[in-house]
Structure 1
Amino acid sequence: MASEKDIFEISGPLHLTTVDWTDVDHRRSVAACMVQGVYIMQRDRQENRQGPNALATSWWKSFSFDLHSQLIDDADSSIFGAVYKFNPKPDLSPNNILSTPATPSHIVAFRGTVTKGDAFSRDLQLDIHFVKNILHQSSRFETAIQAVRNLVAAGNQNIWLTGHSLGSAMAMLVGKNMVKNGVFLESHLFNPPFVSPPIENIKNKKVKHGLRIASSFVTAGLAVAVKLKNNHQQRNNASNNSFIHLASWVPCLYVNPGDHICSEYIGYFQHRRKMEGIGAGGVERLASQHSISGLFMDAIGKESHEPLHLLPSANLTVNSRRARDLKEAHGIHQWWRCDQQLESRTYRS
């Protein structure tokens, strides 16, 4: 029997009787529902729910989107993403959703890790790829980036990227790569994973702030030392320029303090401002581009890869409503509910 969370008519944002594409809450809610649509497509596949028994369609049809294509992982045939196309029908459109200049023409959505069914082992493998900063070497990424490139090449405007958990990492990776080609896509990233010790969970603010300051100086110092030792001037300059170029891309990140998978983004951006306040902004700007693990690999002469999770700029939305447990704090459903306590701030490098 299907979970109530799979059914749009029970768990979806039924309060959205109309959609205002200029409203940040509406945009966030629709983006989250597109991700949920991918999750439910995969569950429909796993449970062999077909035809009238399939539950996924309402998650995008309710907002006047059609399913343009599914994104299939060639390793396990699971559905990991989808391309949706906005297709309003004025006489039939639910919720009076019509096209405006702010309306996305297409939304490319990616689900996160599923813990049940035949997709789990592949998802877990890609979770490890993310931690090792080699997600870009996966065939799933190649499928994702090609789908987006095809949309851009066809002349489509106002394409959105969105994803949850592992899917947000995939969307972030696609977004970063498109920026390198001069294409800046609006991106909504829910519970994006951050590879770091969970300093944000430390209750003592002085201890937490002290650890962050120490980490910044250690990381910046290592970055300078590795650069001098290995004489990788050209490579490091290329990496720095890439990070600086990303500053013009401002993805929307949605995090919950109770979710240790993504909560470190809160401290990552807040600490940057604090370091600027004490006159150490230059140290933090250097530190924020590097991970200690990557610098260690460079120091011992082994290949390292650009940390996927690090960003120079973002619009960070924090849901401070206390979650009952990690599952709720990491869940996608919170991002379309209207009873949450959300606070947003834009950080630019």
Structure 2
Amino acid sequence: MGRGSLRKMMGGGATASDSDTDTFSIFGPFHLTSIDWTSSYYRTSVASSLVNGVYTLEGDRLEKRVGSESLAKPWWEFFNFTLLETLMDDDGSIYGAVFEYKLYNLYQNTPHVKVPHHVIAFRGTMLKGKTWKSDMKLNLKISFNNLHQGGRPMHAVKAIRNMVEKYSESAIWLAGHSLGAALVLLAGKTMTSVGFLLESYIFNPPISSLPLEQLPGGDMIKNVFQIAKSVVKATVVMALTDLKVQDQDNPKTTSWIPYLYVNPADPICAGYIDYFRHKTYMSEIGAGEIERTGARKSVRSLLVGKIRGKSSTSDLSTEPLHLLPSADMIVNNNKPTKSTTAHGLHQWWERDSTLLANWESCCIRPYIEGKLDQLNLQ
């Protein structure tokens, strides 16, 4: 979903109005008067702000805010970025944008510092005007693991490829929230498959699985459920595709290490926490091959493909979006309040140092022999 959706369902209660969320001087990270690119917090704040700039571009279009009434520019100009290109869907809605960092050349002699030359950012769902129709269609595709069949993803990946061909991929970043995060996952996997590892900032990505983080019960019950699920999926996948048990992750995909931002109180993305915990547990008990086989294909998409008797002709990645052997995951353990929702983009430029202390960093890496580093999540 998107920036302001499902607020009541997620326990967020009343929040700021849409016009406030679009106004940088009220809602933005205006406390960052200078950027320390060596800090992950600063990089996170800039990336999330640029994504919010895409939301605001579409808000300007829908509300017909032009000229001095436009609210989008401060979201990137404050950080010395310029807008190079807007990415538009078939219905005319703005779903993404390409930004250029004006001070990039100042860092040419500091290769150890992560600085983007360009950032390609994607917004999430907006339940306004006619925009919501195309957004919700893509949300449904995510649920059935066939986002790669959508026109917007193909257009987005084409735009990314054009930028990679023109500039060095090491200086191109991707960023997205919710539905936009799903686009980044799809694009990142697709570009990785052809040898380009793009730094990616993925905020509140949707996952098409039961959010066990939201269910009562101990870890034992959850582990039993997940083990049974993996065994059943692996059996069905092998029966439908004649696959052998996978003994290793795709080495190209393993090399891509996106930054993943999730909140355990957000049912849309909380499943990633359980996914990585289960992946670690299955590896520890020697069942990593079963888990990888079950995760590699969607049973729903396989069944649909069998019924239709045809496969997708898309050249985009067809792997389930959540299939990530490696990731740097940030977990925001702060509970939602009246001013902050668990799915809200603005939580990722949090100013309160006390709340920032509740962010947990989890590095997920596969060992050479296929085992995962320990994931320390309570």
- TM-score, with normalisation over the residues of structure 2? 0.82
> Structure 1 residues 177 and 325, CA, compared in 2 at 3 Å: closer, same or farther?
farther
Aligned residue in 2 for 1:93:
none
Amino acid at match of 1:23: S
Preserved CA contact (<8 Å) 1:319 1:342: yes
1:39 equivalent among 40, 44, 55: 55
Aligned residue in 1 for 2:133:
121
Deviation string, structure 1 residues 115-165 (Cα, Å, up to 9, x no partner) = 122211111111112223332222212221121111111133410001001
Preserved CA contact (<8 Å) 1:259 1:326: no
> Structure 1 residues 198 and 325, CA, compared in 2 at 3 Å: closer, same or farther?
farther
Aligned residue in 1 for 2:192:
179
Preserved CA contact (<8 Å) 1:193 1:262: yes
2:258 equivalent among 251, 262, 267: 251
Question: Aligned-pair distance for 1:271?
Answer: 1.1
Aligned residue in 1 for 2:373:
none
Aligned residue in 1 for 2:364:
347
Partner SS, residue 296 of structure 2: coil
Aligned residue in 2 for 1:137:
149
Question: Aligned-pair distance for 1:89?
Answer: 9.5
> Structure 1 residues 335 and 107, CA, compared in 2 at 3 Å: closer, same or farther?
same
Deviation string, structure 1 residues 213-267 (Cα, Å, up to 9, x no partner) = 2112222222333344xxx67xx98xx9884431111111101111111100000
Question: Aligned-pair distance for 1:275?
Answer: 1.7
Amino acid at match of 1:167: G
CA distance in 2, matches of 1:217, 1:204: 21
Partner SS, residue 145 of structure 1: helix
Partner SS, residue 329 of structure 1: coil
Deviation larger for 285-294 or 196-205: 285-294
CA distance in 2, matches of 1:242, 1:278: 17
2:118 equivalent among 106, 115, 123: 106
Aligned residue in 2 for 1:278:
285
Preserved CA contact (<8 Å) 2:257 2:326: yes
Deviation string, structure 1 residues 286-311 (Cα, Å, up to 9, x no partner) = 22323332354467684565323322
Do residues 265 (structure 1) and 272 (structure 2) align? yes
Aligned residue in 1 for 2:208:
195
> Structure 1 residues 183 and 326, CA, compared in 2 at 3 Å: closer, same or farther?
farther
Gaps of 5+ in 1: 91-96
Aligned residue in 2 for 1:7:
23
Question: Aligned-pair distance for 1:332?
Answer: 0.4
CA distance in 2, matches of 1:314, 1:53: 40
1:150 equivalent among 159, 162, 166: 162
CA distance in 2, matches of 1:89, 1:133: 37
CA distance in 1, matches of 2:238, 2:104: 58
Gaps of 5+ in 2: 1-16, 312-317, 367-378
CA distance in 2, matches of 1:259, 1:65: 31
> Structure 1 residues 317 and 303, CA, compared in 2 at 3 Å: closer, same or farther?
farther
Q: How many residues align?
A: 335
CA distance in 2, matches of 1:44, 1:15: 24
1:321 equivalent among 294, 311, 334: 334
Deviation string, structure 1 residues 148-198 (Cα, Å, up to 9, x no partner) = 111111133410001001101111111111111100000001010000122
Give the CA RMSD over aligned residues.
Answer: 2.6
Deviation string, structure 1 residues 322-342 (Cα, Å, up to 9, x no partner) = 013898111101011133321
Greater RCO between the two (CA within 8 Å, min separation 6)?
2
- TM-score, with normalisation over the residues of structure 1? 0.88
Amino acid at match of 1:58: P
Aligned residue in 1 for 2:9:
none
